[in-house]
Amino acid sequence: MKIAYLEDDTELAATVCDWLRQAGHEVDLFTSGVACAQAVVSRRFDACLIDWLVPDLSGTEVLARLQIKLRQAMPPVIFTTGRDSEEDVVAVLNAGADDYIVKPLSRPLLLARLQAVTRRQQGVAGASLVQDFGRLTVDHGRRQLALDDQLIVLTERETDLALYLFQNIGRALSRKRLIQVVWSLTPDVDTRTVDVHVSILRRKLGLTPEFGWRLISIYGHGYRLDREKDSV
**CATH code of the domain covering residue 198:** 1.10.10.10
* The pLDDT value given to residue 158: 92
Query: What pLDDT is recorded for position 209?
Result: 92
pTM for this one?
A: 0.61
Who's near 185: CB < 8 A, 6+ residues apart? Answer: 34, 56, 57, 179
Q: Does residue 72 share a domain with residue 139? A: no
Q: Bin 27: left if φ > 0, else alpha if -120 < ψ < 50, else beta.
A: beta
* Under 8 Å between Cβ of 45 and 75: yes
Q: What is the DSSP letter of 105?
A: P
Using the 3D structure, point to which of 59, 86, 121 is the last residue of a domain: 121
Query: In which domain, by residue range, is 65 found?
Result: 2-121
User: Is the bond leading into 104 cis (omega within 30 degrees of zero)?
Assistant: yes
Question: How many Å apart are CA 207 and CA 198, to the nearest integer?
Answer: 10
Domain end residue (candidates: 60, 87, 121): 121
pLDDT at 65: 85
My answer on whether 12 and 87 are in the same domain is: yes
38 membership: H or E segment, kind and range:
helix 33-42
User: Does a structural domain hold residue 85?
Assistant: yes
Q: 71, 93, 121: which is the final residue of a domain?
A: 121
Is residue 216, in this structure, part of any structural domain at all? yes
Burial of 177 (C-beta count, 10 Å sphere; 0-12/13-18/19+):
buried
pLDDT at 61: 87
Beta-ladder partners of 130: 139
Let me know if residue 20 belongs to a domain. Answer: yes
How many structural domains is the chain composed of?
A: 2
Question: With b meaning 16 or more CB within 10 Å and e meaning fewer, what string describes 30-67?
Answer: bbbbbbbbbbbeeeebbbbbbbbebeebbbbbbbbbbb
Instruction: Please give the pLDDT value at position 125.
Output: 47
Distance CA 8, CA 52 (A): 10
Q: What is the pLDDT tens value at each position of the chain, 232 positions in all?
A: 899 999 999 999 999 999 999 999 999 999 999 899 999 989 989 899 999 888 788 888 888 888 887 765 788 899 998 887 878 888 888 778 888 888 889 999 899 888 888 776 654 444 457 889 999 999 887 788 999 999 999 988 899 899 989 988 888 988 888 887 887 656 577 888 999 999 999 999 999 999 999 999 998 899 999 998 655 4
pLDDT of residue 71: 63
Residue 232 is assigned to a structural domain of this protein: no
